[in-house]
Amino acid sequence: MLALGLEGSANKLGIGIIEHPAGYNVDPTVRAKILSNIRHTFVSPPGTGFLPKDTALHHREWIVKLVLQALDTAGVTWKEIDCICYTRGPGMGAPLQSVALAARLLSLLWSKPLVGVNHCIGHIEMGREITHAQNPVVLYVSGGNTQVIAYADQRYRIFGEALDIAVGNCLDRFARCLGISNDPAPGYNIEQLAKKDVQRRKLLDLPYAVKGMDCSFSGILASAEGLAKHHKLARGGAGVPGGVTTEDLCFSLQETVFSMLVEITERAMSHVDSRQVLIVGGVGCNLRLQEMMGVMARDRGGMVFGTDERFCIDNGIMIAHAGGLAYGYRHVKPQGTGMGGEGKWRRKRAKEEGVVEVEDAGVTQRFRTDEVWVKWRD
């Protein structure tokens, strides 16, 4: 079975094609085959973020080119595609709508079934496929989401999350404050600055906001931005007490927010008695976060699973993979609706099951990870 995936929930437009051979998800020795994984990023100028309308225009401009490139790289034709998978949500409204429009068009043009995919589920399932992690606690960290997740009873249950802004958004906005480049990504550039001459870095005092299983990053960001403004006025730290540098600021922010993430992840591991941690999402490819998580996991006799930027950062192959799993189990139906009204049930079913008719192939900016019925897992 061949699945085409279209991802465009934020500033990355990704197209991927994956093959699930016969026996996949039944025989553990049979693995999925990645045939193509193409991505193009909308990069805004330093000191700015990416606006939904500009990002949507970028996706509309590039999506046809990337679909054709993905088919060419995979060495297949559109006739061989079994289903078209697209990001239903969560994400930014205008970019999501642009990609969903393209997915509906391809579905009608090629007479192929549509599968709407939860973005978070795509990250988790792709991480599990690449790393072969069995039943890990998942730390999902990106520009729009921060969640600690564990699987139970065909749902990915959220144990803890950000109460305000996501950790990736915190890093992105801090980079914007310092005028750090958005190319290739602000978080990546913060990571490079933080590890420069790391033995000489100064750990500055920033708020540490863990509340049970949840985190708050807005206060940390406000404090870091205050230090950054003072630093900028002092021209390289010359007038700042102790001579604080840009590298010190980046190092301190990373160490603080990553320590918070490690703490809530360890608490979830203890609760579900797991020795595996899987880190997914764009922030997940940060090597310092992987290192800190690894120290914690080893102390518990466990291990950490992570991937590189090909699969951590938003991509089309994760949507193709998760959509292909849902499509493979499309004949499995829930027992009863439990809903009052056919229209309301159809909308709920579209979010739970994934496989949808063209007229139901919409998007939603609010799509919780635990709303999805993970029918392909026991």
Which comes out higher in pLDDT, residue 200 or 342? 200
Per-residue confidence at 22, pLDDT binned at 50, 70, 90? Answer: very high
pLDDT in tens, 75-95: 999 999 999 999 999 999 999
Angstrom distance (rounded) from CA 303 to CA 134: 12
pTM passes above 0.85: yes
pLDDT score of 167 more than 60: yes
Question: In this predicted structure, what is the pLDDT of residue 348?
Answer: 66
Nearby residues of 136 by Cβ (< 8 Å), 6 or more positions away:
128, 274, 276, 277, 278, 305
Residues near 273 by beta carbon (within 8 Å), at least 6 away in sequence: none
Kindly report the CA angle at 141 between 139 and 142, in degrees rounded to 5? 160
Per-residue confidence (pLDDT) for residue 338, from 0 to 100: 47
Distance CA 161, CA 157 (A): 11
Contact of 138 with 124, CB cutoff 8 Å:
yes
Rounded Cα–Cα distance for residues 108 and 106 (Å): 5
